[in-house]
Amino acid sequence: MVTIALMISSYKTNPFCNLFLLLIIVIISIRFLVHGSYELGLQAVLTPDQGPPSVFYLIIIPCFYLYYKYLSLQNKTYNLKDLKHLVFIAFLYIINSNNMLAGSVIFHFGQLTNLVLIGIFIVFYLFLIYTTLSKYIWFKNDLEINNQHFILVKNWTVYLFILNVLAAFTLTASLYSEINNEANLSGKSLAIILLLFWLFIYFKILFTPEILYGLPILNKKILKFNLLDEESSLIEKPSKTNWILEISHQKNNNQDLKLQEKIMSNIRSYILEVDKLSNEERVFSDPKASPTLIADKLGVPTSHIVYLFKYHSKISFSEFRMYSRIEDSINLMEAGYLKTNTLESLAYKTGFSSYNPFFSAFKKITSLSPQDYIKTKKT
């Protein structure tokens, strides 16, 4: 009951939790409650171990398929066509309820017929589930969620599918055992083993936050944990402390050796001027920012700037420009730029040609997307 309550409370924000997972948990909880409630007399009412009524518990099999389907597609708009998955269950109930069919061709082999039909039913849906997960999750690399969430979805579906397969084998073995003992088919004979599998699912839902809370809330929690681990802020502003003042003796050509003689005494001032252009004048926000533009600003030959980044910088000119632009974007975010402007506008303002290269650069430097960075500032 605790598991169900927690799932319902996070239902709207939880891509892991859709109607079919709730339905599965409710049905299984009721089944094991009935099996374990001899003193309450519920078995006399619901008769889960007496033939036809037990057929309805098979609904969890197509429910698992539909759960995976809607989880993969991240869609909570359900389709009435999904009711077609009840057709076989209705058929199985009818042929087991109609005494006139007891001696028909369908039941020529008695209860063994039920075992064969149910076995085919289980294998069919396991195949559908495997096909769906393989196509949309397990072997797909471009889900519309970030990599961390993709791994969470993948791990959860692998874990759950393994338990599905084990439970399917156990249920089939239970039915076979009941046939040999000439008991009514209910899947009850190995209920203890099945219960263990369901307990694994319950505890996974209870103790794994990505399943319990859903991706949006989980992301917020992860960011908070990282904040504590780093003892300060999750995101530090990009650092451009990359300058090297020492003289490098490894020059590739005579021209570089000659440049070293000319500008070595000016290296420190060049570094200070480039940092000033970056931090104060925001020259790298110019889409046309290049070594030539920097050289023009400083009034020196372009070769001097090329030499500076080649031998006295730990990163290339293009990387320095990217760091500078992302630092500008973070400063603008903190100044409230996004209160009246969009991220696309921010990308253009800081020198990027479009939003996509801005997004990639921001995530590369800060390890978070711009949206996730904004969330950290709101927590």
Give the torsion sign (CA, 85, 87, 88, 89): positive
Contact 157, 208 (CB under 8 A): no
Residue 141 lies in a domain: yes
Same domain, 209 and 74: yes
Does residue 240 sit within a domain?
no
Total of domains in the chain: 2
Q: What SS3 class is residue 243?
A: strand
88 & 172 share domain: yes
Query: What was the pLDDT predicted at 202?
Result: 74
Residue 357, judged by CB atoms within 10 A of its CB (0-12, 13-18, 19+), counts as middle
- Does residue 208 sit within a domain? yes
Write out the residue range of the structural domain in which residue 316 sits: 254-378
CATH number, residue 348: 1.10.10.60
Q: Measuring CA to CA, how many Å separate 155 from each of 14, 81, 162, 212, 246?
A: 16, 29, 11, 14, 49
CB-CB contact of 343 with 379 (8 Å): no
pLDDT at 9: 57
Same domain for 141 and 200, yes or no, is yes
In this prediction, residue 230 carries a pLDDT of: 42
pLDDT confidence of residue 141:
56
Residues (pLDDT < 50) of the chain are: 13, 38-39, 42-43, 46, 48-49, 142-146, 214-235
Q: Identify the pLDDT of residue 106.
A: 55
| Domain shared by 71 and 194, yes or no | yes
Token duo for residue 71: 């989880």
Q: Is 266 exposed, middle or buried (0-12, 13-18, 19+ CB in 10 A)?
A: middle
DSSP string, 172-214: HHHHHHHHHTTPPP-S-TTHHHHHHHHHHHHHHHHH-HHHHT-
Q: Are residues 261 and 201 both part of a single domain? A: no
pLDDT of residue 350: 94
What is the per-residue pLDDT for 289? 93
Contact assessment for residue 242 and residue 315, using Cβ atoms and an 8 Å cutoff:
yes
pLDDT at 57: 83
DSSP codes of every residue in 211-236: HHT-HHHHHHHHHHHHHHHHTS-S-P
Q: What is d(CA 6, CA 9) in angstroms, rounded to the nearest whole number?
A: 5
40 and 163 assigned to the same domain: yes
Query: How far is it, in rounded angstroms, from Cα 45 to Cα 39?
Result: 13
92 in a structural domain: yes
pLDDT in tens, 137-185: 887 654 444 455 667 778 888 888 999 999 899 888 888 887 777 666 6
Q: How far apart are the first and last CA of the chain?
A: 31
Is residue 131 located within the same domain as residue 270?
no
Position 236 in a domain: no
**Residues 167, 271: one domain?**
no
User: How many CB atoms within 10 Å of residue 6?
Assistant: 16
At what angle are helices 302-311 and 267-279 packed, to 10 degrees? 100
Same domain, 270 and 188: no
How is the chain split among helix, strand and coil, in percent rounded to 5? 70, 0, 25
195 and 288 housed in the same domain: no
Q: How many residues does the chain have?
A: 379
The answer to whether 230 touches 376, Cβ cutoff 8 Å, is: no
Q: How many helices (H) and strands (E) does the chain have?
A: 18, 0
